[in-house]
Amino acid sequence: MNEVLSQDEIDQLLTAISTGDIESEEVSQATDQRKIKIYDFKRPDKFSKEQIRTVSIMHETFARLTTTALSAQLRSMVHVHVASVDQLTYEEFIRSIPNPTTLGIINMDPLKGSAVLEIDPAITFSIIDRLFGGQGEGTKVQRDLSDIEQSVMEGIIVRILGNLREAWSQVIDLRPRLGQIETNPQFAQIVPPTEMVVLVTLETKVGEVEGMMNFCIPYLTIEPIISKLSAQYMYSTVRSGATTENLNIIKERLSTVHVNVVAEIGSINLTVRDVLSLRVGDVIRLQDTRTTDPMVLKIGNRKKFLCRPGLVGNKVAVQITQKLEDIEKEEFEELAVEGEE
């Protein structure tokens, strides 16, 4: 609340100014104690400093993974690191990139909307030259990509998106997918020009060629998970480890893994000489195995179930009768009871 001066105080102040005891600049500095913060309504800040810092941490992981992946694929020294993370309007981003350039429109499933991955032409042509057997030299000629060059860059971007998914895994199970590649920034209007975006700028070096990769994410796309973009959330996720979301992801990935299932009738040790002398019609007598004994069903190299052989239609099959872990538990309990007696 501003202090109100009395009439006597005002008269004394005017007298001091007129006699030169107080400079008028000092009076203006003393009376104006308010701090004014400039706010641009055309460009409002949508991301907090903590959220910007979290986005930077996530993409530092992405940069490390991309460095390793591209170095292995190009057989050349590649270095990628986060140069800056800024928030600006989409129009400012479009105006800041060259024309033509390589623009990958990325579907950010399960998030709504798309993002843009822009690769500097110098880096693009250096990668293409390297993959076509050259030394990885860039080109100073500004031109659009040919159909073959565009197909090559599609493969590179798809490989990079795998690293992006892993970098975002602590926040969301992101499944980025390449939609299309554009060379003219004016044809990549994924959001209105005034919409705010977060721009991750990655300094990239392929051999001796240096350039930039820009990853532009609109606020509308990232808004559903904006609350998760905090260091506290990420560290709590890492500490908790087996959260329900993580368990569901692990189960989903494990459900597609192929394993060998073997029904083992029995076993016997033979010398190499005996094996070499085997002929069609020979009978091998298994050790400690009778025809009435159940077979052992092995998952990978681990004995898991007991089963019996049979037929299902015209196919040989086995029927699971018991779990070996249950048998071991029963035997352990029987031994414990006998020990007590």
Can you give the residue ranges of every domain in the chain?
Answer: 1-36, 49-252, 261-340
CATH of 49-252, one of 3.40.1550.10, 3.90.1150.180, 2.60.120.380, 3.40.50.2300: 3.40.1550.10
Q: Is the pLDDT of residue 301 over 90?
A: no
**pLDDT-above-90 percentage for the chain:** 22
Three-class SS state of 204 = strand
Q: Taking residues 147-161, what's their average pLDDT?
A: 91
Cβ atoms of 90 and 218 within 8 Å: the answer is yes
Closest CA to 196 of 218, 163, 181: 218
Higher pLDDT, 30 or 257: 257
Candidate ranges 51-65, 250-264, 292-306; pick with highest mean pLDDT: 51-65
Higher pLDDT, 164 or 34: 164
User: What is the structure's pLDDT at 337?
Assistant: 52
Contacts by 47-51, CB closer than 8 A, 24 or more apart: 47/87, 47/196, 47/198, 47/219, 47/226, 47/229, 50/229, 50/230, 50/231, 51/226, 51/229, 51/230
pLDDT digits (tens, 9 = 90+) for 225-283: 888 887 666 555 544 444 566 677 778 878 888 888 998 888 888 899 988 998 998 88
Cβ atoms of 23 and 31 within 8 Å: the answer is no
User: What is the structure's pLDDT at 1?
Assistant: 44
**Dihedral sign from CA coordinates of 127, 160, 184, 218:** negative
Query: CA 162 to CA 174: how far, in whole Å?
Result: 10
Q: 260 vs 24, 124, 297, 300, 325, CA distance in Å?
A: 90, 43, 10, 5, 19
Residue 73 parent element (H or E): helix 49-74
DSSP code for 284: -
pTM across the whole model: 0.57
Domain 261-340 is found in CATH 2.30.330.10: yes
Q: 197 vs 55, 59, 83, 133, 190, CA distance in Å?
A: 12, 15, 17, 38, 11
Residue 295 parent element (H or E): strand 295-299
What's the chain's average pLDDT?
A: 81
User: What is the structure's pLDDT at 45?
Assistant: 65
Q: Is the pLDDT of residue 112 over 60?
A: yes
Q: Is the pLDDT of residue 25 over 50?
A: yes
